[in-house]
Amino acid sequence: MIIFYNFINFRLEYTKISSKDYHLISIDLIKTDAIIEELNKLKIDYSIPTILIAECFLVYLTRKVTMNILNVFTSNFKNLIFTFYDLINPHDPFGQEMLDNLRQRNIKLNGIEETDSIDKQITRLKDCGFLEYEVHDMVDFYNHFIDNSEKKKIEKLELFDEFEEWNLLQSHSCYGLGIKLEKDYEFLYSIKFKKY
Ligand SMILES: C[S@@+](CC[C@H](N)C(=O)[O-])C[C@H]1O[C@@H](n2cnc3c(N)ncnc32)[C@H](O)[C@@H]1O
């Protein structure tokens, strides 16, 4: 909701959309107390298996802040499947150019140094209480975790023969999974990525 005070200043209120079985809330996730406050208002059942998705979000915040956020979820949700996409590998020339381009648009990736590798991404998952975890850079993921028929389909969508550039780009991002389940839902560990 946008409230116009006058022609120059305006305030952007946090958006909320609610229906019987769908809720969309926007909050500043740095304010971790607000996360549970908002979820409690919705009478969330913390025992139901829940999927948490973060697509290119964690890298904007320091490791400490992302740990606080993830800990809120792992300590409250009894059965949590967390999947995320993130940027890594900032130190080579491509990574430096990626950061420069973002800097020119005033975008700072506050967490990229502290979680710049697959190992560090995995350590964060472990440190936040996930019991099973895996993280792959997107080259590895594309080459080994997508079945060939799907890849053929993707590669037909448009001319796709610049594999060197593709691999360079994809080696700067990763895809991961952290899972924490109670005994009754342990069968959901099978959701882990399937190798082809
Ligand atoms: C690269 S975008 C990800 C886009 C998103 N996956 C999508 O498809 O719209 C990074 C997002 O992180 C959000 N973000 C950054 N810091 C945040 C914070 N403290 N609380 C909530 N969201 C934040 C930004 O608003 C932005 O939408």
SS3 content of the chain, % helix, strand, coil (to 5): 40, 20, 35
Question: Which tens digit of pLDDT belongs to each residue from 65-114?
Answer: 999 999 999 999 999 999 999 999 999 999 999 999 999 999 999 999 99
Question: Is there an atom of ligand 1 within 6 Å of 85 CB?
Answer: no
| Angle, alpha carbons 178-29-7 (nearest 5°) | 145
Among 84, 85, 74, 82, smallest CA distance to 36 is for 74
pLDDT digits (tens, 9 = 90+) for 43-63: 999 999 999 999 999 999 999
Could you tell me if 120 and 174 are in contact, meaning their C-beta atoms sit under 8 angstroms apart?
Answer: no
Residue 13 reports pLDDT greater than 80: no
How many whole angstroms from 161 Cα to the centroid of ligand 1?
32
Query: Which sequence spans correspond to the domains of the chain?
Result: 10-44, 45-191
What spacing in Å lies between the alpha carbon of 137 and ligand 1's midpoint?
Answer: 21
Q: What are phi and psi of 57, to 5 degrees?
A: -125, -45
Ligand 1 atom 6, closest CA: 55
CA-closest residue to ligand 1 atom 12: 57
Secondary-structure class of domain 45-191 per CATH: alpha beta
Q: Quick one: which atom of ligand 1 is closest to the CA of 30? A: 19
**Chain segment 135-186, per-residue pLDDT in tens:** 999 999 999 999 999 988 888 887 777 888 989 999 999 999 999 999 999 9
